[in-house]
Amino acid sequence: MAAQIKLLLEIPEWIWSSMESAQYLRATQLYLLCCHLHSLLQLESSGSHYSPVLSRFPILVRQVAASGHFRSTILLESKSLLKGRAVSDQAIAEALASIMLLEDSSPRQALADFLLARKASIQQLLNQPHHGSGIKAQVCSLVELLATTLYQAYAVFYTPLEGQLPDPALSSGLLFTTLETGTAPAGKGVKVLNNEMKSGSWFKYLPSSVTDFQPVLRTLARPINQDHLRDTLLQWINMCKEDIKSGISSLLVYVKSLKGLAAIRDAVWELLTSESLSQHWGFVCQRLLEHPLSFWEDFLQQLFLDRLQALTKEGLDGISSSSKQLLVSALQELAARPAPGGQGRAVQFEYDIASFLWSEAPSDLLSDAAWVSVSNRSHLLKSGLSMKAQALTPCIQSFCGSLDSKLKIKLDDLLSYLPPEKNLKDSADPPTGSQLRNSAFDRYADASTVEESLREHCLSCVRYILSCVQSELKAAQDRLQSSSRYSPLDSNLNSVLFMARLCQSMGELCPNLKQCIMGKAGDHVTRETSRIGKKLGKGSSKAPEVNPAQARWQEVREELLKHSMEAYRIWSITVSKALVHRFTLTLHSDTAGSILATATNWEELEIQEETETGNSVTSKIRLPVQPSWYVQSLLFHLCQEVNRVGGHALPKVTQQELLKGFLDELIPAYNELASNKHNKQDSAFPMTQNRSLQLVFDLRYLTMILSARQEEGKTPRTQQDPRIQQVIEALESHIDPFDLDVFTPPLNSNLHRLSQRTSVLLGLLTGTEKMFTSRSTNVNSQEPYNILPLSSSQIRFGLLPLSMSSSQRAKSATRGSEVKKSQRAPVSAPRVEETFRPGNLFRQLASQEEEPAAPSLFKMGWLSSMTK
């Protein structure tokens, strides 16, 4: 009995020592031995009788009271150990064995305890305070905990069936091995006091029931059925999946950039691809779950995509709202036009593009323009001259630059989530089997979804900006229609022009907008398309395939162009109605003073007529050689307005609509005048023949100037507008028919000559197509005017960027072939009189330009490269 009492007093110290070293199974065995000693010594006192041993040895009373706390402490520490991630498989098995021995539970209950502990550990991880970089560590710890749980479930609970070959690198069934060792009958297992008996001689006085003590389970610990193990694990995974999704979604809210999302994704990929987790992962999943399990696809991928789309939408919505504020601010600055010479010089340029074109700035030429060619320069670098060539004012550049810089920040952030540039071509191909085996998951599998998300939100941003432009255009149009006066300084009209230029240039000045819509391979697609286009130009019959992203970008360009055309249309209608209204008031003025004030000098011509007797009679006639002053004023103000808004950069469609709108407004004015004079012969100032002749000359001249330009490759119109013909016939009815036959040929000549004389002054209206005449003009003509004949091939000024129509190119090609043929024949020296003929110098320059010559600096290529 003394030896038993001494052992009973030593056991508490051994239990505490085992618990400090996390040997909970050893502590459990000692506790159960202690309980066994209590029963042997009859230390449990009941209400009916008191233990005689306690009465003899009062010190045991405290020991019995203290031993009652061991059970709860060991259970608490064992269950706490089950929550740890960095715990060995053997320690987990021993902790579960301790719980089973203390609670007399079954292996199935131990499995439930293990999974519940891990679920609590998952919730603890998700509820940790999160800030900054800690989120990546939390997500990685969570993934590691899930993977470790399945590995340890295999190691602790899984027992292979008969005939199944276990993986020699993996242990299995540790729980049952541990129970078998710790609860085996005497002589087969390790005794509880095996080590202690070697250290003291008094142990030999202990009875065999104490020295050979082994804990015993009340129920037999049978291996868990594999179906039950699989169903339990799948149920646990599905139960944890909801907690993980809600928890990680809450964590990802604190990730404010796509770069941060990509860092977390890459960290998870590196963790799951590491050898410690990936080496036997497929084998364990197949044995436990009978199907593969991917944490990324099943748990995380959709959460990351949802957060990515939320960040993209949030970023693009911010860009949309800031762009709207920028647009409203720019329009307010235009409305509050500063005084000339003030600080708002950029706003002054919006009111007069011509002043912007002729102003000088240090940025007009790039610093390397003299030695870097256009082909070697980045297309993103724009010189000031190239901006002026496109009439892109500083306000337009500032707006587009601000929008482009914000899009670039968003695009750079998103590119961190996509494959690197060096793997761009490889990412277009599906990964091979070896690549998938070496990687836990394809982290760039959703690259197309990411690009599509950016594309859709970027399109929504553009549509929002265009809707703001549309509403501002509608408001400006209403204000213009309510105002009866027109002024080039009208802020509403200049606001319309600002929005027209903005929509026209946004596609070019915002290259990152194109890349957001085209995707990361946008530049590659563009280069490939241009290469195919060059092949098609060489005669290939196969049409290039249109990339879907390219088609979306084309839709955006067309939508921007549509709004630009609408704004230009508002401007052209406003200008047409205002200028023609003033013109109509002067045209319909019937007072003699107003008619004389607008009259111009006529030309006196001598003509020879043949009488009935056959004699020749010389007579003098007077014909108009220039339009009325109000006609010249109308055309000049129109040309001035076109020049003010940067007419060289106006779309051709807008120019044609402007000219057509002017002509449509002028015809009713002349028609009204002709019909009134035809019906009211007794008016204060009747229609005279001279006035009718001047009006016919004016109207025909206006028709020549304002007739729509012909597109390249199309034949000119031979049929005159029937409305104009009707008005001319009404005006010609006031002219004597005989005189009209005499006046018509010289009048046509005067019109043609006037058109050539004013082609430079009104060049923005007439176009380069009307700036030349045929060389068949009679040089020996004795007409009293002197106009240098303009070349049909436009080679008078070889360095000027004048365009050539297709027919003129054909003529140039024909002349080139004739030059090659003439080179075979002997070249004769030019005659002396031909050398001094007018225009011979230009003809010599033309012939030299058509012949092959050495490269020269004085070529268009050198000049044009300095403006790009």
Residue 342 has pLDDT above 60, yes or no: no
> Counting Cβ atoms within 10 Å, is residue 635 exposed (0-12), middle (13-18) or buried (19+)?
buried
Strand, helix or coil for residue 402: helix
Average pLDDT over residues 547-557: 88
pLDDT for residue 196: 58
- Per-residue model confidence (pLDDT) at position 341: 53
- 217 near 104, Cβ under 8 Å? yes
Question: pLDDT category, 786, cuts 50, 70, 90?
Answer: very low
Q: Note the pLDDT of residue 424.
A: 46
In which residue are the tokens 């194109």 written? 514
Identify the residue whose tokens are 């360009």.
Answer: 557
- Averaged pLDDT, 345-362: 79
**Is residue 844 over pLDDT 60?**
no
Quick one: pLDDT at residue 61? 53
d(CA 134, CA 127): 12
Q: What is the pLDDT of residues 700-720, one digit of tens each?
A: 999 888 875 554 444 444 457
Instruction: Indicate the average pLDDT of the chain.
Output: 76
pLDDT at 708: 56
Q: How far apart are CA 826 and CA 684, in angstroms?
A: 75
- Average the pLDDT over each of 203-212, 454-463, 604-613, 828-837 and give the range with the smallest value: 828-837
Q: Per residue in 110-160, pLDDT tens?
A: 999 999 999 999 998 888 775 555 888 899 999 999 999 999 999 999 988
Question: Which pLDDT does position 192 carry in this prediction?
Answer: 60
Q: Which of 44-58, 691-705, 771-785 holds the top average pLDDT?
A: 691-705
Higher pLDDT, 259 or 592: 259
Lowest mean pLDDT among 168-182, 472-486, 511-525: 511-525
Stated length of the chain: 868
pLDDT of residue 313: 93
Report the pLDDT value the prediction gives residue 265, as an integer from 0 to 100: 92
Lowest mean pLDDT among 235-244, 568-577, 842-851: 842-851
Range 558-566 average pLDDT:
93
Reply yes or no on whether the pLDDT at 868 is more than 60. no
Three-state DSSP class for 361?
coil
The residue among 452, 573, 461 whose CA lies nearest residue 506 is: 461
**Residue 775: its pLDDT value, please?**
43
State the residue for tokens 């409203």: 328
Q: Please work out, in degrees rounded to the nearest 5, the angle formed at the alpha carbon of residue 122 by the alpha carbons of 117 and 127.
A: 125
State how far the Cα of 297 lies from the Cα of 799, in Å rounded to an integer: 64
- Per-residue pLDDT averaged across 418-439, rounded? 56
Residue 826 reports pLDDT greater than 50: no
pLDDT of residue 697: 92
288-292, 479-483, 738-742: range with lowest mean pLDDT: 479-483
Please give the pLDDT value at position 218.
74
Three-class SS of residue 486?
Answer: coil
What pLDDT does residue 800 have?
A: 47
Q: What value does the mean pLDDT take over residues 174-186? A: 75
Question: What pLDDT, in 10s, does the model give residues 508-530?
Answer: 889 999 999 987 655 544 444 44
- Asked if residue 63 lies in contact with residue 132, where contact means CB atoms within 8 angstroms, the answer is no
pLDDT in tens, 643-688: 888 888 888 888 888 888 888 888 888 888 888 765 554 455 678 8
Do 828 and 796 meet the contact criterion of CB atoms below 8 Å apart?
no
Confidence at residue 846, expressed as pLDDT on a 0 to 100 scale: 43
Supply the pLDDT for residue 269.
93
pLDDT digit string (tens) for 21-72? 888 888 888 888 777 776 666 555 544 445 565 555 555 655 655 666 778 8
